[in-house]
Amino acid sequence: RTMADALSDAGDLSGGEGSQDDVMTPAELIARLEEAWLNEKFSPELLESKSELVECVMEQLTHMEENLQRVRKGDLKASVHHMEIGRIRYVLSSYLRSRLQKIEKFFPHVLEKEKSRADGDPSFLSPEEFAFAKEYLANTEVYLKAVALRHMPPNLQSIDMLKAIPEPCLDSFVFLRVKERQEKILVEPETDEQREYVVDLEEGSQHLMRYRTIAPLVANGAVQLI
Amino acid sequence: MFCEKAVELVRELHRMSDGQLPAFNEDGIRQVLEEMKALYEQNQSDVNEAKTEGKSELIPSIKFRHCCLLRNQRCITAYLYDRLLRIRALRWEYGSVLPTTIRFHMCAEEVEWFNQYKKSLASYMRSLGGEEGLDITQDMKPPKSLYIEVRCLKDHGEFEIDDGTVILLKKNSQHFLPRWKCEQLIRQGVLEHVIS
């Protein structure tokens, strides 16, 4: 029994009124959440923000909880639904947590990337995450200044956070499953003795590759990190 | 030797196992800052001398001192930043109120940073989804079972569960409670998960 099944059941419970999104069924919604969750968990860098998805899932959860209030106490069905709500909430929280962790770990780079983003390009931070990242940077700068930097010689009273905080390592290796067949993916050499080569990625096949090579495919959903 | 005190600060944290926060080494920081001041002053006077009297043989030692200054700066900020990361982890482990024994090890500015971090995190979580937001410091592990057996380690008073039932958490009493309600109390050491 999967989460998605239970969610569609919950949709039945509500008499189908929860159709805030006409194109997506609850099952698809949860599948999308799981996809985003795994990609975020395994990619070394922060991925595109999916605020809408998060909002939809939160709405679904509230909806399911409301429906559960109406179910008789001690009903077996109720505890099964409780369990499913718990699971979905875990996936959602874990997804948001791993994003927040990356924001905290790479905050100067994340903010820099967001600043240099062209209008119309997808945002890497939700408005809430953006506010959090800015506060985190300011808080940390104020702290370092107050405790140590302001007591240092005049030419050493500031540090470049972009240089001081490590960048995400895009050369780390990730496991992936191919969702849409790809032709002629250029794999760059790792050492001087190797030469670059191209590979075709068959649908459904699994690979271990450098993240940098397939980062665009993660972004457009052609591969899934596992 | 220069920079030794600064490296000692970094080593001090390195020796601690992950997540432990030793007392803030104010004295160590002060000593490094004093060394930096001395290095800087020495460099200032050497630079003047090199300029006015054209003593180019002073340049290597100026450069050397400058490297020491940079290294000291780097070690101090590494020490402070690593401590912040440990303090951040405490927020996720203990919730927003830290045990006094740990707070005792923090300097005033660290407490200030922690309070600010708490605020940022809280307003982030409040802004998620609906009116109430979502507490993402909960649900840290995938749920295995709905209810778990817990034992009370200290008197905690009355505790309300979702369906409105109020139970009394008395020391040494044992309860069968919804897992999602107990997670934080377990982390705070009020309850203990009984594994039979």
- Which residues, given as ranges, of chain B have pLDDT below 50? none
Same domain for B122 and B180, yes or no, is: no
Q: Kindly report the nearest CA distance between residue A190 and chain B, in angstroms.
A: 31
Q: What is the signed CA dihedral for A165, A169, A170, A174, rounded to 10 degrees?
A: -140
Same domain for A187 and A215, yes or no, is: yes
Residues of chain A that touch chain B, judged by Cβ-Cβ distance less than 8 Å? 54-55, 58-59, 61-62, 73, 79, 82-83, 86-87, 89-90, 92-94, 96-97, 100, 104, 128-129, 131-132, 135-136, 139-140, 142-144, 146-149, 151-153, 156, 159, 164
pTM of the model: 0.83
Q: Kindly report the nearest CA distance between residue B24 and chain A, in angstroms.
A: 11
Single out the residue in A139, A168, A197 at which a domain terminates.
Answer: A168
Same domain for B91 and B40, yes or no, is: yes
The CA distance from B44 to B50, in Å, is 10
Mean pLDDT (10-residue bins), chain A, 226 residues: 50 43 78 94 93 90 84 74 87 94 95 87 89 95 94 91 92 93 84 82 92 91 92
Cβ neighbours of residue B44 closer than 8 Å, sequence gap 6 or more: none
Is position B140 within any domain?
Answer: no
The CA distance from A224 to A65, in Å, is 31
Same domain for A44 and A6, yes or no, is: yes
Same domain for A159 and A183, yes or no, is: no
Q: What is the ipTM, given to two decimal places?
A: 0.83
The CA distance from A61 to A71, in Å, is 16
Q: Where are the beta strands (DSSP E) in chain A?
A: 173-178, 182-187, 197-201, 206-210, 223-225
Same domain for B186 and B105, yes or no, is: no
Domain span at A218: 169-226
Chain B residues in contact with A90 by the CB 8 A cut-off are: 139, 141-143
Contact A7, A26 (CB under 8 A): yes
Per-residue pLDDT reduced to its tens digit, B10-37: 999 999 887 789 999 999 999 999 999 9
Contact A113, B158 (CB under 8 A): no
Same domain for B110 and B152, yes or no, is: no
Q: How many domains does chain B have?
A: 2
A223-225/A206-210 β-pairing: unpaired
Same domain for A88 and A16, yes or no, is: yes
The CA distance from B122 to B84, in Å, is 18
Q: What CATH number is given to the structural domain containing B164?
A: 3.40.5.60
Single out the residue in A149, A168, A187 at which a domain terminates.
Answer: A168
Same domain for B47 and B10, yes or no, is: yes
Predicted local distance difference test score (pLDDT) of residue B74: 93
Q: Say whether A144 and B121 touch across the interface (CB within 8 A).
A: no
Which residues 121-180 of B are in CB contact (within 8 Å) with A?
121, 123-124, 127-130, 134, 136, 138-143, 146, 163, 178-180
Domain span at B87: 4-126
Same domain for B34 and B89, yes or no, is: yes
Same domain for B66 and B161, yes or no, is: no
Q: How many domains does chain A have?
A: 2
Q: What CATH number is given to the structural domain containing A106?
A: 1.20.58.1030
The CA distance from B109 to B137, in Å, is 24
Same domain for A147 and A94, yes or no, is: yes
Same domain for B78 and B157, yes or no, is: no
Predicted local distance difference test score (pLDDT) of residue A21: 46
Cβ neighbours of residue B8 closer than 8 Å, sequence gap 6 or more: B28
Instruction: Count CB neighbours of A100 within 10 A.
Output: 19
Same domain for A163 and A198, yes or no, is: no
Q: Say whether A143 and B110 touch across the interface (CB within 8 A).
A: yes
Predicted local distance difference test score (pLDDT) of residue A133: 95
Single out the residue in A168, A198, A215 at which a domain terminates.
Answer: A168
